[in-house]
Amino acid sequence: MYTVFDPGHCGVSASVYEIAPLAQKYGIGGVAVPQNLLEDPKAGVAAADFIFDHGLRWSLLPTPADFFTESVTDAAFDSALERFKRWADAGEKMGVRYCYNHVWNGSNARKSEAQFEWVLRRLRRIWKVADDHGLRYGMEFLGPCPLQRSFRYPFFNSLSGILALADAVSPRCGFLFDTYHWYTGSDQRVDEAYLAAAQVERMVNFHLNDGVPGRTRTQQEDLERQLPLTSGIIDAALPYRLFERAGYTGPVLCEPLRPWQQNAEGRSLEQTMAQVSAAYERVRQAAQTPPAQAAR
């Protein structure tokens, strides 16, 4: 797997031309795909040449809409899908290989069976666009309980549910594994991590983060997190070790979000990237430590 830096997740603003040399310096293997490059294919190809010259790769292709939110009407979805086709074409020329969307863990309009069919109808169209452009597409489950309680009806909050959706489309349709959602949705169930490891060829990204101290699992909010292995609430080393052993070769991304994003004013781009690099190294080192032997 290769590590990635995404300035948006870290509260800083920088171009790939600023990020690439620092990524190379701090041993980070990839960069996020800026939306503006997808609107300007010539600039996108030039930026791709630049990062490839620095030995880097792209992370995930963004999508122009939150495709699985109910506020996106069918008409808005059709329009966004046309834009996604253009972005996917530009991304293909840039050498982007991965793409995803999250699937909300609840609905205000439909119970679970009807929600499954609604998501599936949209998913089939999104996946076809991605597949036509050589993109490995996957979905992310969302775990936080306060988020799920905000909906009238609950929906999938674990990897098992996302795989059910993916399987209904194609064995090549995949998933994103996020340690925060794994913790908040299934309480770090080991079988979910092993299930992901058994299908790493379908995994399109691996998000690393940690929980907020002073909160129980069911109190953790969706967008409030920390860099991995900061509080020690989430055992990010376990899935990292399993995925590495299983041969996962895709991107891995630190996603601390708030309050780290909001505290970025006092950090330079280089300081931010150095801290992200150190977080990746913490996880690597922890993953190399063999788990304690069970008592006989």
Q: Which of 10-14, 117-121, 292-296 has the highest mean pLDDT?
A: 117-121
DSSP H helices, the chain, are: 7-10, 16-25, 35-38, 41-53, 74-94, 112-132, 145-149, 159-167, 179-186, 190-197, 237-246, 269-288
pLDDT score, position 69 = 97
What phi-psi label fits residue 223: left (phi over 0), alpha (psi between -120 and 50 degrees) or beta?
A: alpha
pLDDT score, position 292 = 65
58-97 per-position pLDDT tens digit: 999 999 999 999 999 999 999 999 999 999 999 999 999 9
> CA angle, corner 185, sides to 183 and 186, nearest 5?
70
Would strands 98-103 and 60-61 be described as parallel, antiparallel, or unpaired?
parallel
Q: How far is CA 146 from CA 171, 226, 241, in A?
A: 32, 18, 29
pLDDT score, position 262 = 84
Backbone angles phi, psi at 185, to 5 degrees: -85, -40
CB within 8 Å of 246: residues ≥ 6 apart: 197, 198, 200
| CA-CA-CA-CA torsion sign (195, 198, 203, 205) | positive
Q: How far is CA 63 from CA 68, 80, 81, in A?
A: 11, 8, 9
- pLDDT bin (cut points 50, 70, 90) of residue 265 is confident
281-296 per-position pLDDT tens digit: 999 999 998 666 544 4
As a dihedral over the C-alpha atoms of residue 57, residue 160, residue 288, residue 272, rounded to 10 degrees, the angle is 50
Contact between 243 and 197 (Cβ < 8 Å): yes
Q: Considering the chain, what is the average pLDDT of its residues?
A: 96
pLDDT score, position 190 = 93
What phi-psi label fits residue 225: left (phi over 0), alpha (psi between -120 and 50 degrees) or beta?
A: beta
Query: What is the arithmetic mean of pLDDT over 109-113?
Result: 97
- pLDDT bin (cut points 50, 70, 90) of residue 151 is very high
pLDDT score, position 296 = 44
pLDDT tops 60 at residue 20 = yes
Backbone angles phi, psi at 272, to 5 degrees: -65, -45
Helix (H, G, I), strand (E, B) or coil at 132: helix
Quote the CA–CA distance of 64 and 82 in Å, as a whole number.
Answer: 10
Quote the CA–CA distance of 131 and 116 in Å, as a whole number.
Answer: 21
Quote the CA–CA distance of 250 and 108 in Å, as a whole number.
Answer: 34
Contact between 31 and 276 (Cβ < 8 Å): no
CB within 8 Å of 71: residues ≥ 6 apart: none
Share of the chain above pLDDT 90, in %: 93
pLDDT tops 80 at residue 204 = yes
Contact between 179 and 239 (Cβ < 8 Å): yes
